[in-house]
Every structure is written in structure tokens, then in C-alpha cells.
Amino acid sequence: MKNKLLSCLFLLVFFLSQAHALTFKFGRTGKIIYDLKSGTFNVYQNSDEFLKNGFSTVKESDKVYSSKDYLTRNYTSIQISDQFGKGIRHTINLSAAGKPDMRQIFYTYDQLPYFLVEIEVSGTSVSSNEMIPVQGIIPVLKGVKALRSVFVPFDNDTFISYNSKQLSKNEQQISSEVAAIYDNSSFKGLISGSVNHRVWKTGTVTGIDSAGNTFIRVQAGFTEKSITRDTIPHGALTGNVVKSPKVFYGLFDDWRMGMDAYAKANRTAEPPIVFKWKHPTPLGWNSWGVMQEKISFDKIVKVTDFFADSLKAFRSEGTLYVDLDSFWDNMLKGGLEGDYSKLKEFADYVKKRGLKPGIYWAPFTDWGFKSGGDRRAEGGNYKFGELWTKVGPGYHDIDGARALDPTHPGTRQRIALVIGKLKECGYEMIKIDFLGHAAIESDHFYDPKVTTGMQAYDQGMSFLLKQLDDKMLVYAAISPTMASGRYIHVRRIACDAFKSIRDTKYTLNSLSYGWWQTHLYDYMDADHVVLGAESIGANRARTLSAIVTGSFIVGDDFSAKGPWTGRATELFQNQALLSVIKDGKSFKPVEADKEASEMFVKQSGNTRYLAIFNYGDKEKKFVINAAALGLKTFSGYQLEDLFTHKSGASVNHAEFVLPAGDATLIKITK
């Protein structure tokens, strides 16, 4: 009798506990189990639990409220059909006396192996500058010996690098916008991050606590000087309802596939407003590679002639851009409001030679701020001091330039003036730079409705695009990593790179952990490829760094003869190489535990390409297993070196020996 009573009591407790549990399914095998009693949720993929005791918090008027603290929780759901497909929106409504109302909203889709989650806080004029939709522990990754986490930079300024860090107890990794934490022995990993970037800056924290638990936190309202460049806290959102960004959350057998899915989700959540690019993968030349401030009309004409006469096969379906970088204003008479006739003459000459003219500008910067704020800003009657972005007691100065408030009419008048002049001259490409200056947090923007750096960035970039009026290919140099996808066609993946093997390694560090942005932008670029007087191996590596990134801009001073001119005719006109970037997509890293992967792979139709780099100062043998490239065996495949055109075949593995500071590209066909 006693045993029967205990059994009944156990069943009663079990059923009562289950009455509080809600199950939301996603994908083929995913499910979220939400506990209405505790305000926490667990997430599973098959039997893998990849979030336990997950919960949400919001800081409202300097008080932090947790989903676990509320007394009343109720659930509603509705079927949806949005840009992600058909799914269900699950809403947990939380309320309690003395607390603002909170909502946890989960978006699940049958066809997607991940879910999205956001939170809202509502009341009479609520205010928040910190919202954390997801935090908790990750049981599936507990005890993993080769556990690594990736640092993704907010932008590509100050020669910042990506980082894959091996984690141990009491260690953590902070990243901008997205977290990737994975088992390097199996590549299984969790991906989570924001897919909205028009309002919030988001930061992620992953690590292992003192009890050995792997944990994650995804925080909207993140600033850190060394990452976001901000020196003040994130701006606050105020209203009757304040909403977080949607956060992507998924477990993947290969974390690289997860990052691809995350990038595609960003593109889906915030589609481009820049005009659709229907033209070939960009190839071109940029003056900053070598010429820099020594730019002159005579030199750039000679460069144009070199490409028109001596590099006729360096084209993308007949197209090549000749792009003038900073200091083109040396050719103006009377400054930005003056005579642009020489620039127009050059644009006309480039077109006459069958090429396309490009230009450069940094629209949100004041490079003359040290001369004082009483100078009149071109295009209107405002003084520069009125345009400067206000940050605490001062302003935002970085890279030798002061940030201009993107919402200020004086900033806009100046943009309208310069872009209008460049359009009149007939330029067909623009490289825009130092865009991070437009995303900085301010305690007061000119537009009172704008309270965060990302809102200001959205306003500034949207206005810039309206002035461009679909007339130019838009290429971004220094710019926010995630937030720029809506506004541009091409983004440089790292900071400046020039000619050395060290430059190649620096660029490929960004590709090793940021290749997935190939799904966020039309094209990514490895910056201007400079050959100079470096070794042929360094030249091959620098050339190949562009090919594996996805587009190809070169930068030697071709107005003068040197070793670079002969090398360029050999390397830049290699049609086997140029055909690889026809689709404009990046290669994917084979390794994920080094400063920069030494091997990258790309599938294009029925052909695989393997790029190999030796960054070291000694000869090195590379042994490649077929499985690492997604093949069962090399049997029946032909391997051709696209630099030497030598062919070879193997069965289970392939071996290649590369000299110090060199690279090669292998074409693998059935």
C-alpha cells in the first residue's frame, strides 16, 4: 500500500511538472521546452541539450528584471509566414506588481535547424539600454577538451584581428554580435548572435565557469572601447514598448555550416537596400596600394594606359575599375566646392580606354578638426563644430579624424555636395571609408529620435545611398562587420594590407574566421594586392589571398616600371585563377585552431579548389586527407596546380611541398 501511494505521488508530481512545460519544435529534431513555473527554458537537438536553464533579462531604468522573477506567466501562439518561411511565433507574457511587463518571443520554423528569440518590455515610457534574450549553460559542450570560441570584431579598424581561443575553466571569450563555440576535434558547435543591427550593438560572452559548465550570454546594448570604439555606455531606447534584436540560436554538426546559416539569416532579416548588383565580380586597381598621397593626373593616366594596353586579359567579363583613393582632392581647384574638371577629364579618359572610373570618400569624418570648429562645412552654412558627434565631455577621434553626426543637416549637405559632383563627373564606383565613425554612441544626436549609434549609422548610410542614386558600385573599407550588409556591394574583410607574406597572413586571419560573410555581402575583398619587389612566392600568396576572399583589387604603381609590371602580366592574367572568382564567393577554412588557416577549400559546381599557404620562413610539406575536403577518397580525381599547371592524382591523401612564404591553388576534378 505504501509503495502504491509513493508511486501515485510520484506520478502526480510528474504530471504537475509537465503541466508547466511547453514544447516548441523547430527543424527536424529541435525542440524548446519552456517551464512556465520557473521562467526558464531548455533547448535540444535530438538528444543533445544545448541550452539549460536559459532565461532572459532586461535592464529598465537601471533596474534588472529577469524572466525568472515574475509571478504570472501565460502563453499564446500564432502561425506566421515571413521572410524566413512558415512557422509559429510563441509568446510568453510575464507580469508582476511593481515590474514592467515582459515578453519572451520565440520564432520556430519547420524548415530551419535553428530558432530566433527576442524580448520586449512595455509600460508607460519604459527605457532600456541592455536586453539579454538568451543566457544559460550548454551541457552538450561540457567537458570538451578541444573547446574553442571565436572573437568576431565589431569592425575592421586599427588592424584588429579575429581570434579562435581555446577555453579552459574560468575563461571566457567576448565577441561582437555573434558567438561561435565549438569542439575542434569534431567541429560540432553552437552559434548564436543578433540578426538585427539597425538599433542595437550586440555582444556575446562564452566561457567555462568554476564548476566546469560551458555558458553563453547574448547582450543587446554592448559597448567596449577596444571592440566597438565607444567610450560611453550604449544609448537607451525609450517608449511604451522597447524591443531587443532577434537572436539566432542553433547547434550544428559543423560549426562552419552554422556560421554560413547565421550569415544567411542576417541577409534574410535585413535585406539590402543598396541596388541589386547584376554585373560581374569586381576587378580593379586602387591608388592607395603604393601611390597614396603622391597621386597625380599624369600618373593615373599612365596606370590606365598600362591596364588598357599591357593587361588586357585582366578583366571580369570585359570590366575593370580604375579607382582613385584618398588625396584625389589634390586635383581640385578651390576645394570640395570648387572645380572638378580635372577629375571629370580623368573619368572620361578611363571610359575612352574601355575601363570604368572609381573614386573614394570618407563621408562621416572631419580630417581638419585640429584647425578648430569655426570652419564652414562645405555644402551649407553650418560650422564643423556643429557637425561633430558629441561624446560625453568631448568628441570621437580615431584614425586622425573626428566623427561627424550622421543625423545633422550639415553632414548631409556636405554628402549631397560631394556625391553630386562625383556623379556629374561620371564615376561608376565609390570606395567609402571610416564608416565606423558614423556608428559611435553619442549622448546627443542632432535628431532627438536617434538615441543609439546604430540608429545613426542607419540614417547616415541610408541618406548616402539616396545621394548615390544607384549610379555606382559601393565598396566599403573600414566599416562595421555585420551592420553594413544592407548598404554596400563589396566589403574589405580586414584592414589595410600591402605586399608581404605577413600582410597575406593578416588578411587570411579574417577569412579564416569571417569567410561566412560571403553570404552577407555580394563580395568580400582582400584589399589592394601589391606585388612590389617581393619574391614570386610572396606575390603568389598575395594574389591568391584575393582569389580565396572573392574579388580582386590590385595596387602597384603601374605608372612606373619595376618587377611588379612583369609579375602582374603573369599572375593577374591567369585565366584559371580569374575563373575561380566568377561566382564571387569565398573559400572556407579547413582548419580552425590557428591564427590563420593554411588551407582553404571551395566547391564550385562539380569542381573543388584547395588553396594552400605557407606563411613560414621554411619549406613545408602539406598532407591533405580527402575527408577534410569533403571527399571519401581522391581515387578517380585529378589534381592540377593552377600556377604551375602540373597534374597529379592520389588515393587517400595528397602531399604538396611549398617553399617558404609561398602559396598554390589546386583544382580537383572528377
**Using one digit for the tens of pLDDT, what is the confidence trace for 92-112?**
999 999 999 999 999 999 999
Contact 31, 24 (CB under 8 A): yes
Length of the chain equals 670
> Residue written as cell 614570386?
536
Q: Is 666 strand, coil or helix?
A: strand
Of 505, 497, 604, nearest to 555 by C-alpha is: 497
- Residues 129-143 have pLDDT tens digits of 999 999 999 999 999
Output the CA torsion sign for 183, 187, 189, 193.
positive
Give domain limits for the chain. 2-269, 283-586, 589-669
pLDDT in tens, 376-424: 999 999 999 999 999 999 999 999 999 999 999 999 999 999 999 999 9
Topology of domain 2-269, per CATH?
Beta-galactosidase; Chain A, domain 5 (2.70.98)
Of 551, 607, 543, nearest in space to 581 by CA: 551
Among all chains, which residue has been given the C-alpha cell 570538451? 144
Q: pLDDT (tens digit, 9 = 90+) per residue, 149-193?
A: 999 999 999 999 999 999 999 999 999 999 999 999 999 999 999
Instruction: Indicate the pTM of the whole model.
Output: 0.95
Give the number of C-alpha atoms closer than 13 A to the C-alpha of residue 460, restricted to the C-beta side. 36
Domains 2-269 and 589-669 share a fold: no
Q: Which pairing describes strands 356-361 and 321-323: parallel, antiparallel, or unpaired?
A: parallel
Q: How much is the pLDDT for 12?
A: 38
In the CATH scheme, what is the homologous superfamily, with its name and number, of domain 589-669? Answer: Golgi alpha-mannosidase II (2.60.40.1180)
Assign domain 283-586 to a CATH class.
Answer: alpha beta
**pLDDT tens profile 223-265:** 999 999 999 999 999 999 999 999 999 999 999 999 999 999 9
The contacts of residue 48 (CB under 8 Å, 6+ apart) are 140, 251
- Alpha-carbon Rg for the chain in angstroms: 27
Q: Are strands 40-45 and 30-35 parallel, antiparallel or unpaired?
A: antiparallel
Q: Is the pLDDT of residue 16 over 60?
A: no
Asked if 114 contacts 248 with a C-beta cutoff of 8 angstroms, the reply is yes
